[in-house]
A and B are shown apart, each in its own frame.
Chain A
Amino acid sequence: MKAGVIVFPGSNCDHDAWYAINQNLHGQAEFIWHDSTDLGGFDAVVLPGGFSYGDYLRCGAIARFSPVMNAVKKFAAGGGLVLGVCNGFQILVEAGLLPGALLRNIDLRFICREVTLRTETADSPFTSKLRKGQLLHMPIAHGEGRYFADDRTLDELEAEDRVAFRFVGNPNGSARDIAGILNRERNVLGMMPHPERACDALMGSTEGLGIFESMLSAVPSFAK
């Protein structure tokens, strides 16, 4: 049993997620091509970062029509764990698996930087190994990561404890400093920062590993 990393044309953090799960987490990950229609056999699915289909349109707007996205929706509806990072978060939002939208950064430039996140809830299969309030350091690298939703949605996210992470020092203008959110069932997480880039001491931080470790403990079968 294993985690699947979906490869859209233009995904470019697919290998990083694969490496983090296989080498740093000592889990088991395999690539899933974007035209797959069956996610049977996977315990968790990762939508990696990148520029799916070039993102020449709104980010993720094309990828959501990929054949694999129907399978992802079914997988999520069945309770499977779905993690979307960066472009993966954008795709999940476009696909309607998470609410809101990701707009261009407030200063209209791409930003690559190490940021500090505050863990807002430990009550999810992605954050169970973290403490509420725990600070995590990991990189962001995006041009369109400014989380936006109407006030009612934002209130609802907060009331239902679905804000997983907030930025400490908002880099991109995200509403209420939001860096990552959960769906209502808490089995889908989308986040702009890159936990897979913070799983190896050589990269300067291993504080992203906690997210993958939480997933591992939720579905122990994807340990090697």
Chain B
Amino acid sequence: MTITPELIEQHQLTPAEYGKIVSLLGRHPSYTELGVFSVMWSEHCSYKSSRIHLKKLPTRGKHVVQGPGENAGIIGIGGGWVVAFKIESHNHPSYIEPFQGAATGVGGILRDIFTMGARPIAVMDSLRFGPLTKPHNLRILSGVVGGIAHYGNCFGVPTVGGECVFEECYSANPLVNVFALGVCKDNEIFYARASGIGNPVIYVGAKTGRDGIHGASMASAEFTEESKQKRPNVQVGDPFLEKLLLEACLEAMKTGAIVAIQDMGAAGLTSSSCEMGSRGGVGIDLDLDLVPQRESGMTAYEMLLSESQERMLLVAEKGREDEVFRVFKKWGLDAVTIGVVTDDGKLRIRHHGQVVAEIPNPALADEAPRYDRPHGTKPHRKAPLDAPEIPASKDLNADLLRLVGSPDLCSKRWIWEQYDYTVRTNTIAGPGSDAAVVRVKETDTSIAMSLDGNGRYCYLDPREGAKLAVAECCRNLATTGAVPVAATNNLNFGNPERPEIMAQLVEAIEGIAEACEFFEAPITGGNVSLYNETLGEGIYPTPVLGIIGLMKTAIPAPVQFRSEGAEIVLLGGFGETDDVRFGSSEYAKVVLNQLWGLPPRLDMDYEKRVHDAVREILAAGLAESAHDLSDGGLAVALSECCTSALGAQVTVGGIARPEFALFGESPSRILVITRNPGRVREIALFYRVECPAIGVTMKERLRIGNEHGMWIDLVTSDLKQSFENGLPRLLSQPLTNAG
């Protein structure tokens, strides 16, 4: 086939990129080679727009065993054990086919974990949808949640936490970011680095079909009307097969016959082979006739670009193939030698006896274009900076009930009850906790983890918004007693070719870099999802942080009040809110239906001292319960602490406007419920952190006011009802006997 300019454009390659291909090869590529380059040089696989900025992220730390560049980051947790973890997006497929799009997103990230030799023990998800008042968003939500549940539950990994936010800008661009974490011994880590000239390259797992061809390129373009016809680009997941693949891979790794292994994710056979070859500085020869195939008559182009799920490629020690085959046979899986490691550094593909592609591995994996896209402009934002006239609330009780029942703040029980969050019997703190906590049975250490992102904050100020997300994750971890050790991030943005969008990305990355450096949570990997635009309308810039922390295995202090008459201390103090910074709050969104101004002001040094203080308070056993403040501010946080039996009487000092005092989202604040406020105060003083005693727990009512009068006076069962019914009401699907 002749390579025409039209064909090049169809492959989403620019004329300049094509020129680079020609110079790297010293000739024009074949059609098959063009396809291979188009996926490997796609935004999704090459990070061509973000790579130069991602370099700014801190990646080193005392716990880091493996930073970015492998399938997942690895952190030492002591006692000879490590954890592998990463977050990845499946935004575009989930819009086109929500159930399978989300399901295969889970499948992909799980393979990234167990290809490192680690058994997945936890999954979390960060989701963004359009408002549920539109039926099509309901369909996407139900499909995505169903898909995650289907895959994770069947595979047998607990989905222990996450977040879910609704905003108009995600209506045609839902975000589905899935985080996974696994454990293994520190001397049993596997890398995707091919070596040993003459070693066999073995294909294992599902057969190759025509599904998902060009998925990576699809994820690297804006959506248009035609995108909906791209449904065949979305793959279909088989979690049962993945479970078998997990067990077989871990068992095969134990034989000692495996040299390198990588999952076939985006761009399947192509990326796994050239990346393993490139990392190891070797070549790989593949014979496509040997690849297990689900369909007949597939071309080399189709096989190389197929994104059929549940497949892995591994390099074994020559002469020990049978040890590997035996294990895969036991699990009923295909395992076939399809190639060999060579010394010439090239990816050479044969089909029907002919060489159909011959490309130097580094050309695909390392020589991909890198762009310093223009970003010397202000980040895109349409919201005004100045505050409007903020009307005095007519009914603060009604406002609070509305907020706790609003889609962003209400209980996500409808979602997380569809996930098995207790399988593997490690979940010490599951959904609904400030951070999820999973024990590592073989050690006395547990892993605390939190996902957070705030598109509204980042839209108003990408740099500050990103820092706030890091701070919030670390605050979540601190509130369970854990110390942050490492982070992964998922950068969801619009079209990087627009300077004002690129500016958002750069600002956000620099904000993450600064905050992760400060909170000592180096980034060990992650994912960039660009072109989240439909018909020219972009999403809010939405960096999602996933931060993990370590703690000694023990049940953390719960969120909810435990007894009557305990003192409530607001560690960190009342914070500051003004007219401008109130514009990013949930109150502004839900009650005033507006967005303006700036995100809350963050003092990272103060924030960190609050974390240190709360960890010490928790370690000393001084807290009956604890809960950090975030979206919705003090009143919403207190509401979340209430049970139907227990509420609180709280007096707020200092700030004039009740709306600001109740619903301002100033960071660096944690509610500590204690029987020993004196000692709590001593610790707070030591860390130079404010700690006003703001009230006591009481029976069945939540009352909040100042010295002049009462602002909130509600029966806690009403609050709880509003909180629990938020989603079911919108979905018209009542919960059966929800606890």
Contact = CB atoms under 8 A, between A and B. Distances in A.
B244 interface: yes
A112 B420 contact: yes
A13 B636 CA distance: 37
A170 B422 contact: no
A107 B422 contact: no
A107 B555 contact: no
Nearest to A13: B423
Contacts, number: 97
A132 interface: no
Contact of B418 (A50, A56, A112, A200): A112
A55 B738 CA distance: 27
Interface in A1-45: 9-10, 12-13, 15-16, 19-20
A20 B554 CA distance: 18
Nearest to A199: B425
Contacts of A141: 153, 420, 422-423
Contact of B153 (A56, A110, A170, A199): A110
B422 A200 contact: no
A203 interface: yes
Contacts of A143: 153
A197 B238 CA distance: 26
Contact of A16 (B155, B424, B428, B439): B424
Nearest to B734: A107
A10 B240 CA distance: 6
A66 B700 CA distance: 55
Interface residues of B, number: 35
Contact of B441 (A19, A55, A170, A173): A19
Nearest to A33: B330
Contacts of B10: none
Given A202-B553, A203-B427, A203-B428, A109 B418 contact: yes
A54 B425 contact: no
Interface string B216-253: 00000000000000000000001111011000000000
B322 interface: no
Contacts of A114: 739
A169 B238 CA distance: 34
Contact of A51 (B240, B332, B421, B441): B240
Interface residues of A, number: 40
Nearest to B157: A12
A172 B241 CA distance: 28
A180 interface: no
B248 to A, nearest CB: 10
Contacts of B238: 54
Nearest to A202: B428
A179 B421 CA distance: 20
B737 A170 contact: yes
Contact of B422 (A50, A54, A169, A203): A203
A9 B332 contact: yes
Contact of A197 (B332, B425, B737): B425
A171 B737 contact: yes
Given A106-B736, A171-B737, A112 B239 contact: no
Interface string B126-149: 000000000000000000000001
A1 B243 CA distance: 30
B240 A54 contact: yes
B156 interface: yes
Given A141-B153, A202-B428, A10 B243 contact: yes
B149 A110 contact: yes
A200 B156 contact: no
Contacts of A111: 417-418, 736
A202 B554 CA distance: 7
Nearest to B431: A112
B493 interface: no
Contacts of A184: none
Contacts of A50: 156
A50 B241 CA distance: 13
Interface string A90-133: 00000000000000001101111110000000000000000000
Contacts of B553: 202
A196 interface: yes
Contacts of A12: 154-156, 243, 423-424
A113 B423 CA distance: 12
A54 B154 contact: yes
Given A110-B153, A110-B418, A114-B739, A16 B425 contact: yes
B736 A107 contact: yes
B443 to A, nearest CB: 13
A112 B425 contact: no
Contacts of A13: 156, 423
Contacts of A201: 555
A170 B736 CA distance: 8
B419 interface: yes
Nearest to A14: B156
Contacts of A10: 154, 240, 243-244
B423 A9 contact: no
A139 interface: yes
Contacts of A196: 425
B354 interface: no
B440 to A, nearest CB: 12
Contacts of B737: 169-171
Contact of B425 (A19, A110, A113, A173): A19
Contacts of A16: 423-425
A53 interface: yes
Contacts of A162: none
A199 B420 CA distance: 18
B331 interface: yes
Contacts of A171: 736-737
B100 to A, nearest CB: 14
Interface string A159-184: 00000000001111100000000000
A9 B331 contact: yes
Interface of A: 9-10, 12-13, 15-16, 19-20, 49-51, 53-56, 106-107, 109-114, 139, 141, 143, 169-173, 194, 196-197, 199-204
18 contacts: A12-B156, A13-B423, A16-B424, A20-B425, A50-B156, A51-B239, A107-B733, A109-B417, A110-B417, A110-B420, A112-B422, A113-B417, A141-B153, A141-B420, A171-B737, A173-B736, A202-B439, A203-B428
The 6 A-B pairs with the shortest beta carbon distances in the complex, nearest first, are A12-B156, A54-B240, A169-B737, A141-B420, A51-B154, A139-B422
Interface of B: 149, 153-156, 238-241, 243-244, 331-332, 416-425, 427-428, 439, 441, 553-555, 733, 736-739
Given A19-B441, A196-B425, 13 more contacts: A10-B243, A12-B156, A12-B424, A13-B423, A20-B425, A51-B154, A51-B239, A51-B243, A107-B736, A112-B420, A114-B739, A141-B153, A170-B736
